[in-house]
Amino acid sequence: MPTRSISSFDLYKFTKELSFLNGGFVRNVKSRKNEIYILIFSGQEYWLKIVPGRYVSVSREKPDETIDFPFTAKLKNELLGKKIAISMHKSDRIIELDARDAKLIIELFSNGNISIVKDGIIEQALFNRSYGTRKIVSGIPFQYPPEALDVFNMELKDFSKSLIESKRENLVKALAVDFSLGGLYAEEVCYRVGFDKNMSPRNLEKTEANKIYTIARAMFNEASKPNIIENKFLAVVEIRDISGERRDFKTINDAINSYFKEEEKSEGRAKAFDPSNIENKIAEYSGFVNYITENYESIKDAIRTIRDSDESLESRKAKLGSFGWEVRDKFIYRTDNPEIQIDMTKPINDTLAENYQKIKRLKAALLKKPETKTQAKRLKFHYEEAWYSKFRWFFTSSNKLVVIGRDNSQNIVLVAKHTEPSDLLIHADVFGSPFGLLKLSKSLPPGENDLREAAEMVGSYSSAWKAGAGSIDVYAVKPEQVNKTPPSGESLKKGAFYIEGERTYIKDVDLKVYINLTCNVSEYNLRSLPYRPDGDFVLIRPGNTKREDILDRIIKTFSQKAGIIIDRDRLDRLIPTGRSAIEKIFISTSEPQKERSKL
């Protein structure tokens, strides 16, 4: 089922419904993954939910499991206490929030975006993006998409002339694309006017084009009758062209919320009945097992802390929070990854054993599935024998080694054991960032590309990715500036470091990761890189797609097109935590498989 979104006409009617928020004051801003929530007081408190590229809606309920990142902080700085006005930009799927000297421009088409604009200049964007006709990055004038016909405000003569001169092959496409009505409403106009939707618009008489305008304007001005047809189509007026089960709603907002909740349910049902769900579950349990084994001692410390009856429960919870854990019922879970939950009532080894058994049973079930014919080869994974192999690592485009910690324990080891005076330590300006180590020689200072590439990878593996940020600020310091001893009278959380002195900032670091595949006749290798590699790759960014679906897509791409069977666990270790989006896939077809030799 295609991803759902709202049309220009839906947005046109919905913006009028949202007019009750005009004149309201912003009281708070929160974020979760690729979602922004703005608390607006307009007689009562309402949370405006923004999902770029998809929809906006309103709720009285406070969002849960939120996380702040630099874009959220910027939004708060620009919006808190300000009076806002909501409007739609022409017939584009763009909502604008005016807050005195700042404007929030929300794009609900394509991959979506949110830009903070002041005096026409982009202060900051949720995602840095580059299109054929425009660019969305900080410090440049904001450009709207190429000028489209503003169908909701067109005069009769302009509408008729544009329709008759349309280059589209038929009437319904001209209305859907040129006039931004979308398929559902374009077909409805054709039905109401009684014209064949497949006729060429160039064959229309002026009086016929005028009639279409009159019918379309009448539909635009109808009272809203929000409904969902056959759980497939969202409509804001009565649709006469489609028969089937209809669910009516009091408000467009209610219909939008139900429409997108139904999509989430459909995705869940589809996954439950998908045979590949077995492989997804194996990957899920394997990732859980790997996490426990890699963080065994820190998990024991967390359980020991919450069980220590010599301290009050609040004191224990506070200490647990300093370790990055929280407690709920009989479970402790990671604050930066709530999916990691440990049952405190069981020995850790029992939890490991249970998950090993689940993996074993699922793999047995997988063997019973009918074999599919494939030309993919099962090659050995190429493992680099080096001190940095247990960390995340890569070489910059100028061949400088960058090593990144996977967790707090590795961060400590990296800082304490592997830094030299000439090196630089890299850290994202957000809670929940790994440390990166840029290895340098005394005689060769870092180049600008070295710093930015190291910063991009550290930022991408920070909590900013899970929060859905498009960019983040990152800083570099010398090893002697980082230590475990805070100034007198201050304290540090476990696993944290105190940084002294001036930091070198790398601003607006783009969050993206290239997953690179290289192989020869007997081995293959997977790497994550911040720059485009020479070989096959998949480019991912923060997005809306679930981790399991991203893994499935990359495995399928490499297996089918490159002829290699990819180890899911190896690939899973390279994907940043949180939802993602695949921006580009490149598979070389110029070289036969046997000639690929560089690993």
Listed residue (591, 523, 526, 519) closest to 554, CA to CA = 526
Please give the full DSSP string across 371-421, using - where no structure is assigned: PPP---B--EEP---SGGGGSEEEE-TT--EEEE-SSHHHHHHHHHHS--T
The answer to whether the beta carbons of residues 7 and 185 sit under 8 Å apart is: yes
Please give the Cα distance from 82 to 88 (Å, whole number).
Answer: 19
Our separate counts of H helices and E strands in the chain read 16, 30
pLDDT value of residue 363 = 76
Q: Which two tokens stand for residue 391?
A: 């960390």
Helices within 273-407 (DSSP H only)? 277-294, 296-307, 313-322, 348-367
Listed residue (24, 181, 173) closest to 92, CA to CA = 181
pLDDT value of residue 371 = 45
Please give the Cα distance from 96 to 317 (Å, whole number).
Answer: 42
CATH architecture of the domain with range 8-136:
Roll (2.30)
How does pLDDT run along the chain (599 residues), one tens digit per residue? 446 789 999 999 999 999 999 999 999 999 887 789 999 999 999 999 999 989 999 999 888 767 777 788 899 999 999 999 999 999 999 999 999 889 999 999 888 999 999 999 999 998 888 877 889 999 999 999 987 789 999 999 999 999 999 999 999 999 999 999 989 999 999 999 999 999 999 999 999 999 999 999 999 999 999 999 988 899 999 999 888 888 999 999 999 999 988 665 555 544 443 445 677 778 888 888 888 888 888 888 888 888 776 778 778 888 888 878 888 767 788 877 767 888 887 788 878 888 888 887 777 766 655 444 445 677 888 888 899 999 999 999 999 999 999 988 899 999 989 999 999 999 999 988 999 999 998 767 788 899 999 999 999 999 999 999 999 999 999 999 988 766 666 666 665 777 888 999 999 999 999 999 988 878 889 999 999 998 889 999 999 888 888 998 898 888 876 677 888 888 999 999 999 999 888 876 544 333 333 34
Alpha-carbon dihedral angle through residues 81, 83, 85, 89, given to the nearest 10 degrees: -50
38 alpha-carbon distance from chain centroid: 18
pLDDT value of residue 368 = 59
Q: Which two tokens stand for residue 245?
A: 């089960």
pLDDT value of residue 374 = 45
Count of other CB atoms within 10 angstroms of residue 579: 18
Helix (H) / strand (E) containing 428: strand 424-428
Q: What is the pTM of this model?
A: 0.51
Pairing of strands 380-381, 523-529: parallel
Please give the Cα distance from 284 to 289 (Å, whole number).
Answer: 9
pLDDT value of residue 272 = 46
Please give the Cα distance from 233 to 259 (Å, whole number).
Answer: 8
pLDDT value of residue 226 = 96
Domain boundaries, the chain: 8-136, 277-367, 513-595
pLDDT value of residue 370 = 47
**Residues listed for the chain:** 599
Query: DSSP letter at 178?
Result: I
Q: Which two tokens stand for residue 496?
A: 């944290």
